[in-house]
Amino acid sequence: MTTERQSIHGQWSSRWTFILAATGAAVGLGNIWKFPYLTGEHGGSAFVLVYILCVAALGIPMMMAEVMLGRRGRETPVNTMRHLAKEIHTSPHWQLVGWAGTVAGVLILSYYSVIGGWTLAYILYSGVGTFSGASGEAVSNLFGKFVGNPIGLLAWHTAFMIITMFVVARGVKSGLEKAVQWLMPALFVLLLVLVGYAMTTGFFLKGLAFLFTPDFSRLSGSGMLAAMGQAFFSLSLGMGTIMIYGSYLPKGISIAQTSVSIAVVDTLVALMAGIAIFPIVFANGLEPGAGPSLIFETIPVAFGNMAGGTLFGTLFFVLLLIAAWTSSISLIEPAVTLLIEKYGMTRLHAAFWSGLITWALGLGTVFSFNIWSESTLFGLNFFELLDYLTSNLMLPLGGIFIAVFAGWLMTKETSKSELSMKGEVGYKIWQILIRYVAPVAVLIVLCNAIGLL
C-alpha cells in the first residue's frame, strides 16, 4: 500500500522538526534580501498587498497540496509524481512536473549561492569594522567595488557552494534540524533590533506608509506577477522542495496547521525586513528601487551607526547566512535525491555532481554584476533572466500542475484522508482554493503580465 511507504532518505523525528526544517527552507534570502528590493522596485504597498493575498489564497493551499503529495509518494518529486500518477491510472508524464521542479531548484541555487556568497563577505567586512560610522554613500561605493570584481565574487560563490554541499552530502537530518532551532528566534530578535533602529531614523512612518498605504495606481501587471512569483519563491513552492520535505513527514500530523504556521512565520519575517529597511532607505536618501543591492547598502549603514553595531551587524550577516544556507540545502535536495534514486549514486557523489553543475551555472550570475552586466536579452542580464524564468514562470506553472493534480486528479478519499482535516468545511475551502482559485489566479496573472489580457 502506498500509504505505508517509507522514504529511503529518512524521516523527521517529529512534527516540530518538520516545521523547523520547512521554515528553514522558506525563510531565507527571499525574505530579507529579495522581498524588500522587489517591494521597492514595484512601488511599495500595492505589491505588499498582492503578495499577502497570494500567500493566503494560493500559498497555503499549495503548500498543503505539496506536503500531501510528498508524504503519500515518499520519493524524489520525479518518482513521487510518477507513482502517484500510476496509482490513479493517469499519464506517467506527470513526472515532468518533478523534473521541471528539480531543474528550477538547480537554476535558483546557481544565483542564490552568489548572493549567499555576498553575505559571507559582509560578515567579514562587518566583523573588521568596515561599516563603523560609514555614510550611505561610502557603503554604496563599497558595494559597487565589491560586485565589480568577478574574481572576488567567484571566490565567495565557491565558498558558499562548498558549505552548502557539505551539509547536503551528510543528509538532511544531521545538522539541519539542530541549526534551525536557534536560528529562527535569533534572526527574529535581530530583526527587532533593526526595526528599533529604523524607529530612530525619523523616517519610520514614511517607511510604514510606503509599505502599507494602498495605492492601486502603482499596481502593474508585471508587479502583480512579481508579487505572485515572490510568494511562490518565498514559500519554496512549485518546485518539489516542500514535496520532498513532506516525504520525510511521519503520518498523523496535521498538514493544514503546519502549512499555516510556516506561511505565517515566513510572511512575518519578510514584513519585518521591509519595516526595518525602508526607513533607513529614506533616511539616507537611497533609492527604494535600487534592486538586489538594497539590503547590502542599507543594513550596514544602520549597524554602522548604532552602539555595538560591529557586533550586531556581524551577527546579523551570520544569521542571514544561516538562513540562506538552510534554504540552499533544500533547493538542491530534489536533484540529489533524484541522482540517488534514479541513478543509484551515493549521497556523496550525488552531492558532488549536482553541486558542481550548480556552481558552474553560477558563473553566469557572478559575471552579470560585472563583465556581462551590459549583455542582455529582453533587457535582462543573465541573473535577471534566470530569476524571471524561475520565480515568475517555472514556479507558478509548476504550482498550476500540482494544484490540478492534487485537486482534480487525486480522488477525494485520498486527499481527504491524507490531509485528515477535522471538519468538512476546512476540506471544502481547501478544495475550492486548489481546484479553482489557485490555477485560475495564476493563469490570469501570467497572461496579464505577458500582455494577453
CB of 392 to ligand PFF, least distance (A): 13
CB of 105 to ligand PFF, least distance (A): 6
Residue 277 is which amino acid?
A: I
CB of 31 to ligand PFF, least distance (A): 5
Query: How many other C-beta atoms are found inside a 10 Å radius of the C-beta of residue 322?
Result: 20
Q: What is the DSSP letter of 250?
A: P
CB of 366 to ligand PFF, least distance (A): 19
* DSSP3 helix / strand / coil % (the chain, rounded to 5): 80, 0, 20
Closest CA to 208 of 278, 154, 295: 278
Q: Which is nearer to ligand PFF, 134 or 277 (CB)?
A: 277
CB of 132 to ligand PFF, least distance (A): 29
Residue 87 is which amino acid?
A: E
CB of 17 to ligand PFF, least distance (A): 17
- What's phi and psi for 377, nearest 5 deg? -130, 130
CB of 108 to ligand PFF, least distance (A): 6
For 169, 241, 351, the CA distances from 346, given in Å and listed in that order, are 9, 20, 9
Q: Which is nearer to ligand PFF, 324 or 449 (CB)?
A: 324
Evaluate whether 275 touches 192 at the Cβ level (below 8 Å): no
Cell 561599516, residue located = 131
Pinpoint the alpha helices (H) of 255-404: 255-283, 294-304, 309-343, 347-368, 382-387, 395-404
CB of 416 to ligand PFF, least distance (A): 27
Q: Which is nearer to ligand PFF, 108 or 350 (CB)?
A: 108
> What span, in angstroms and rounded, lies between the C-alpha atoms of 210 and 357?
41
Q: Which is nearer to ligand PFF, 310 or 390 (CB)?
A: 390
Non-local (6+) Cβ contacts of 148 within 8 A are 369, 370
Residue facing ligand PFF at closest CB distance: 30
Q: What is the DSSP letter of 391?
A: I
CA angle 240, 246, 251 (to 5 degrees): 155
> What span, in angstroms and rounded, lies between the C-alpha atoms of 320 and 91?
42
CB of 129 to ligand PFF, least distance (A): 28
Interface with ligand PFF (CB under 6 A): 25-26, 28-31, 105, 108, 233-234, 236, 239, 241, 327, 330-331
Q: Which is nearer to ligand PFF, 50 or 265 (CB)?
A: 265
Evaluate whether 35 touches 211 at the Cβ level (below 8 Å): no
Q: Which is nearer to ligand PFF, 134 or 276 (CB)?
A: 276
Query: How many other C-beta atoms are found inside a 10 Å radius of the C-beta of residue 144?
Result: 12
Evaluate whether 26 touches 262 at the Cβ level (below 8 Å): yes
> What span, in angstroms and rounded, lies between the C-alpha atoms of 123 and 120?
5
Q: Which is nearer to ligand PFF, 232 or 303 (CB)?
A: 232
Residue 60 is which amino acid?
A: I
Q: Which is nearer to ligand PFF, 85 or 262 (CB)?
A: 262
CB of 259 to ligand PFF, least distance (A): 14
Q: Which is nearer to ligand PFF, 330 or 358 (CB)?
A: 330
Q: Which is nearer to ligand PFF, 37 or 282 (CB)?
A: 37
> What span, in angstroms and rounded, lies between the C-alpha atoms of 425 and 411?
18
